Amino acid sequence: MKKVCDIINAVMFFGFIAAFFVLALVLPKEDFSESENRYLAELPEFSAQSYFSGEFIENLSEYMDDHFPARRNWISLRTRLELLQGKKLVNGVCILGSPYEQMVLIEEEADYDTVDKSIAAINDFAESIDAPVYLMVAPTAAGVYADVVPDYSGTLDQQELINYVYENTSDSVSDLDVFDALKNARDNYIYYRTDHHWTSRGAYIAYVESAAKMGFTPASVDRFNIMHASHSFYGSLHSKTLYNGIEADTVDFYISNSKTVTLKRTLSDGEYVGSPFLSSYLSYKDKYLSFLGENAPLVSLRSDAQQMKMLVIKDSYANCFVPFLAENCSDIDVIDLRYMTNPADYVDVSEYDCVLILYNADNFATDTNLVKLNLIN
């Protein structure tokens, strides 16, 4: 009798698995997951070579994972079950409870070989040009909330990394340390709750903290009309967990009421000239794109501020920071080394009065693109 029950249980189990396999194959497929903000795996083509190499099985497993029936519900359920078990770390995201109600992206280690190469490239670049060079390595929420992130998360020590970078830059590089200013303001919604970026308020605090060192008088907050552009932003960290227990984020535009600021960028269907705040992206899952638009090799801002030309070399943390600089600089060119092979094809560094390099700490810890600075001259 026990043997019969075992057979029935085995048949039911494999039948259940087979049913889900068939459903995953025949149900309508999505190419892009709006909730996770990424493209899903495609059904791999079978060949004897890919099968015996293991590549087919690996790719098929990814496909099944991505197209599992009701997958989003299962991910959300798994997140909630892990939180009920007392876990705070889910799929590389630490979910902080009261009083912060914050998601924090966890990066576990820095590649110090890469960091050293980046520092060397920055030093060589700064020593080879006449214009002053400023460097800001901005902490993410993981750095600012490090004391409340569980030790077992193994998160990168951003304070240690930032100190290491600044201690090893040459005298030709002026360091813009905003860590303490952001940490002191961390109760004031300076990072999105569900995204890995800082908010406009966080970027403004960094701007005020760094302006004097760059020779600017920062614009006071009353020189901006603060537009609450969206109250329904669920960002990149929500995409990784699909956890809805934290309130959606608000996207704020700090619109200058004393300067006219214009963004210029080249699109696939022509050139965009208009506001640096692109409201059309507020209908997207990734509403952070409303700051300067999608990542591009080069974008430019022009304003009626004092005549000064600045080059900004950046990652996406700069996107909501750069519009504040337009209060002080008339011409700002913004390049993203991740999207170009040779930056000299886009800019002539001799044309600029100053250069700002702005990366967040997580990116600086692993990014391999800063060595391209050697190609600018």
* pLDDT (0 to 100) of residue 13: 45
Chain-wide mean pLDDT for the chain? 86
* pLDDT (0 to 100) of residue 216: 94
* pLDDT (0 to 100) of residue 48: 66
Q: Which residue has the higher pLDDT, 335 or 45?
A: 335
Which tens digit of pLDDT belongs to each residue from 73-95? 566 666 666 766 777 888 899 99
> pLDDT class for 274, splitting at 50, 70, 90?
very high
Mean pLDDT of 133-146: 97
Q: Is the pTM of this model over 0.85?
A: no
Least confident of 54-68, 118-132, 141-155, 276-290: 54-68
Mean pLDDT of 266-281: 88
Q: Mind spelling out the 3-state secondary structure of the chain?
A: CHHHHHHHHHHHHHHHHHHHHHHHHHCCCCCEECCCCEECCCCCCCCHHHHHHCHHHHHHHHHHHHCCCCHHHHHHHHHHHHHHCCCCEECCEEEECCCCCEEEECCCCCCHHHHHHHHHHHHHHHHHCCCCEEEEEECCHHHHCHHHCCHHHCCCCHHHHHHHHHHHCCCCEEECCCHHHHHHCCCCCCECCCCCCECHHHHHHHHHHHHHHHCCCCCCHHHEEEEEEEEEECCHHHHHHCCCCCCCEEEEEEEECCCCEEEEEEECCEEEEECCECHHHHHCCCHHHHECCCCCCEEEEEECCCCCEEEEEECHHHHHCHHHHCCCCCEEEEECHHHCCCHHHCCCHHHCCEEEEEEEHHHHHHCCCHHHHHHCC
Indicate if the pLDDT at residue 64 is higher than 60: no
> pLDDT class for 107, splitting at 50, 70, 90?
confident
Least confident of 30-34, 94-98, 235-239: 30-34
